[in-house]
Structure 1
Amino acid sequence: MRVINLTVNGIVDAAERGFFDWAATKDAEVIALQDVRCREYKIADDPAYQLPGYEAFFCEGEDEDYGGTAIYVRQTPKAIMRGLANYDLDKHGTLIQADYDEVSIASLWIPPGRDSEGLDLQWHFMETLNAHMGKVRRKRRLFIYAGNFQMAHQQRDLTDPDLHSNTLGFLPAQRDWMDELLSTTGYRDALREVSRDDGYHSWWPSHDDLGSKADPGAWRVDYQICSEQLAPKVLTASIYTERRFSDHAPVIVDYDLDL
């Protein structure tokens, strides 16, 4: 089973850059998109946003130009879940999940925290997500959370960790949160199950994103976080950088698992 995730920063713009033509050749079972910035009804019947053989499901944000997630699936899921049952978070369309017999796959977008209000919302989301992931872990099913976590976890996940040691997205408290998620909460970073190398980056921010840092550099903030039972089933993981569909790159993970 192949799962692909990409923060598109607007599905319309990504389509114009050729994302759907590229995705149609990748033989994925599930494609998870974040920050789609579009109303579903506007593109539902437009061939430019369709993938032959896939169904598409959306979780829209209240603000059409901000947030929203989508998931394209080859096999019809048993159920679709939208949100975390928290209005302050769900109004941004931050999560949509497809449930199958043994595995649930979610498209996840943590809101960016570029000001004090946004940072408060981001921390609220992180706390809520941590509690949710800890709770569902007790269910007899596997989980994959594919999306933009808005943070780099370790020094090897960005090009200049010393410069950004106190930059939002690489704050010590954020890295501690990810440490907890990937240890006591019982999940694994799929890419790191098959590679410990440096040089994996999925986001090329601008100065508008990070402030007046001399070099924003490249970051890995897009992940597939999976149940620890899935860790041995991760076959390959990569980040596709040959073409650019947004300022993020697609994450591609193959699992030894059938839906």
Structure 2
Amino acid sequence: MAIFYVDGKFVASDRAVIPVDDLAVLRGIGVCDLMRTFQGKPYFLKEHLERLEQSARAVDIVLKWRLEEIKAIVLETLDRNREMTEANIRIIVTGGSSTDFITPQGNPRLIVLVTRIPPLPPEWYQNGVKVITVNQEREVPEAKSLSYIPAALALKKAKSLQAVEALYVNRDGFVKEGTTSNLFAVLNAHLVTPEDKVLKGITRKVILSLAGKIMTVELRPIPLTELLCAQEVFITGTNKGVVPVVKIDDTTIGDGRIGEKTRQIIRALDEHTLNFQKE
């Protein structure tokens, strides 16, 4: 059975609880971050913790812990679950208990969950996937919030249409990101990704650092009309890596097959990950 860290204690997963008056329960107020391990080592732990801190700041939750303290807790939780060869690590900071049941009052709770990584279908990477678009925007794009109802509904719609992800399109017709992924498109031999008002993933950051050796990179808005004419499209995420997209709604992207630039990016990320494991 997995061991979790919950509000100052390490407990078995079936004994992991928080008070029902926590704002995470009452209002969905809180932030989180997700990372994975490679060869048992957390991938970009420092960057994920910095993003957690940024998310908390964006929703006005004050962290009681220094990032070094959270890092030590993460590593100990991982060590207590060493039977998992590879794992997901979820860090959650709740809004804490509140006397008015709506306003964070400076007493957040820290939770660290370590769980096995579920396998993803190999055909995603062999044949590419379909995604859909939804007219939707994040309330606080810069924060990885606990409030996932809009994302859950969008994903439910995607699955009903045999798609694996839903891309958010804002009121101005620009495609921003997926529910749990960042978006990239190859447009006129340039790699383009939205920059403003998106949750900037750590995998996105790695891709941007690698892609400059392959093609010119542009950080700019992408209108939906332009995205549907892209030569190649892919999405990225902590657990997904790089997932090629061959269909958006009813539009086939390019020739409906995984593009060569996308394959180059996948190879570059694989090599980067392999080097990380050797460090």
TM-score, length of structure 1 as denominator length: 0.28
Q: Which has the higher contact order (CA 8 A, sep 6+)?
A: 1
Which is greater in Rg? Answer: 2
